């Protein structure tokens, strides 16, 4: 039995990931943005070990979430599932003055990676749109470029792959991988999406818990249990280090080496 933390697990792929882990007999800690959502997921998944609470759009709450997660651990695996979509709205700024998509999808994921005690396995949820992403360190917050929500989302999903590959390189004792779940019928994916939510969660569950040799890889980008080629930027070691340095500057927390 493994103990697994799943971020963003109150609905959609995250909740299905937690449900599958519970069904397989694992010890699961869920994550909710606020107390109301925490109560909802406790009711939906009564077998949870715990639910930790924190809004990833706030650096302070993300730090407190990391502390709560540390108290609920140690974990064999952490599934970084939480994220927000691009949509078509205007650029939004968090309480910390950060662009919201980058704050939640990139900055908070980095901060939790750095602060939660190191597990044996890390799984980062990305998207096939990472192939269209770019790493624009000179304008990560979209302060100079004309706003494009879907491009900001694609960029953030590439950031997650870069982070997964960087962690795999720097932490050789950890299996760190990125997963494209597919286009899933969830609130974020919408009713026209082609794939079922169970399929969208299965690869993460397998990577987090399986003893199969194929699941014990690191520094890989996967979809439906298969290794695929990621955006070439993700394998650029100089770019990996530059993104880590940039995120350390934004958060005041450096990834332990």
Annotated active-site residue 153? The verdict is yes
How close are the terminal C-alpha atoms of the chain, in Å?
28
**CA neighbor of 101 nearest in space, from 141, 61, 143:** 141
Choice among 124, 153, 221, 223 that is catalytic: 153
Per the CB < 8 A criterion, the answer to whether 178 and 167 are in contact is no
Question: 234-237: which pairs have CB atoms within 8 A and are 24 or more residues apart?
Answer: 234/130, 234/158, 234/161, 234/162, 234/164, 234/165, 234/178, 235/165, 237/169
State the Cα–Cα distance between residues 49 and 175, nearest whole angstrom. 24
Give the pairing type, strands 220-223 and 226-228: antiparallel
Residue that has been written with the tokens 């695996």 in this structure: 77
* Cis peptide bond upstream of 64, omega within 30: no
Q: How many CB atoms lie within 10 A of CB 89?
A: 9
How many residues can be counted in the chain?
A: 257
Annotated active-site residue 223? The verdict is no
Catalytic residues: 153, 157
């Amino acid at each position: 039995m493994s103990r697994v933390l799943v971020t963003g697990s109150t609905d959609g792929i995250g909740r299905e990931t937690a449900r599958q882990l519970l069904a397989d007999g694992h010890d699961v800690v869920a994550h909710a943005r606020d107390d109301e959502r925490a109560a909802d997921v406790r009711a939906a998944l009564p077998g949870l070990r715990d639910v930790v609470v924190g809004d990833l759009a706030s650096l302070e709450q993300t730090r407190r979430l990391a502390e709560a997660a540390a108290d609920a651990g140690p974990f064999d695996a952490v599934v970084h599932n939480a994220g927000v979509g691009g949509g078509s709205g205007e650029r939004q700024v968090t309480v910390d003055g950060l662009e919201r998509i980058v704050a939640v999808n990139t900055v908070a994921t980095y901060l939790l990676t750095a602060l939660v005690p190191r597990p044996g396995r890390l799984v980062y949820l990305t998207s096939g749109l990472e192939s269209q992403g770019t790493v624009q360190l000179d304008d990560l917050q979209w302060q100079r470029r004309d706003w494009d929500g879907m491009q900001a989302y694609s960029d953030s999903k590439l950031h997650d792959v870069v982070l997964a590959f960087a962690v795999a390189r720097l932490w050789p004792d950890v299996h760190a991988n990125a997963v494209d779940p597919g286009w899933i019928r969830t609130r974020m994916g919408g009713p026209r999406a082609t794939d079922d939510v169970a399929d969208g969660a299965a690869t993460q569950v397998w990577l987090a818990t399986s003893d199969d040799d194929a699941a014990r890889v690191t520094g890989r980008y996967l979809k439906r249990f298969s290794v695929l080629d990621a955006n070439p930027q993700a394998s650029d070691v100089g770019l990996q280090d530059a993104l880590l340095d940039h995120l350390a500057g934004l958060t005041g927390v450096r990834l332990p080496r």
